[in-house]
Amino acid sequence: KAAIVARDEKETGDRALLNLGHTFGHALEAGAGFSDRLLHGEAVSIGMCLAFAYSAHLGLCPGQDAVRAMRHLEAVGLPTRISQVPGDLPDTDGLMTLIAQDKKVSRGALTFILARGIGEAFIARDVDAASVRAFLADMRAA
């Protein structure tokens, strides 16, 4: 990690890939009020699962890789689903508002770190907000 950070201080290339799960995770963390209801690492764990699941949903990543990532995080005791966040969270539109505030948003366009597979993260720019909203609504119900 230190070598990547040193190579990419402004977080425009490789370093951004370390943010896999952070766009979804930060929205959940903010939605939980940045409280001990959801720690940063827990939020990122759920966010990573969402990023892999969304990648699979878009046909960018094999579904079995999304399941493998989720099972690994479950095996180490981390939460993997939105439903595991204790207490209330904003509704889907509220979470979308929080996602739109992410530091990776550029000129109103959503940017996510997604995956083509295990160890194959990439930067996805201009991600369709309606697609993310529909996906999040489905994941909230899961």
110-140 burial by CB neighbour count: b if 16+ within 10 A, else e?
Answer: bbbbbbebeeebeebeebeeeebeebbeebe
Q: What is the pLDDT of residue 15?
A: 53
Distance between CA atoms of 79 and 113, rounded to whole angstroms?
Answer: 19
Mean pLDDT (the chain) is 90
Q: pLDDT tens, 78-124?
A: 999 999 999 999 999 999 999 999 887 877 889 999 999 999 999 99
What domains lie within the chain, and their CATH numbers?
2-141 (1.20.1090.10)
Picking from 5, 54, 50, the residue whose alpha carbon sits closest to that of residue 29 is: 50
> What's the pLDDT band for 8 if we cut at 50, 70, 90?
very low
1-19 burial by CB neighbour count: b if 16+ within 10 A, else e?
Answer: eeeeeeeeeeeeeebbbeb
> What's the pLDDT band for 14 if we cut at 50, 70, 90?
low
Picking from 25, 29, 23, the residue whose alpha carbon sits closest to that of residue 89 is: 29
Average pLDDT over residues 58-80: 98
Q: pLDDT tens, 24-40?
A: 999 999 999 999 999 99
Q: What is the pTM of this model?
A: 0.88
Q: Please count the other Cβ atoms lying within 10 Å of the Cβ belonging to residue 85.
A: 18
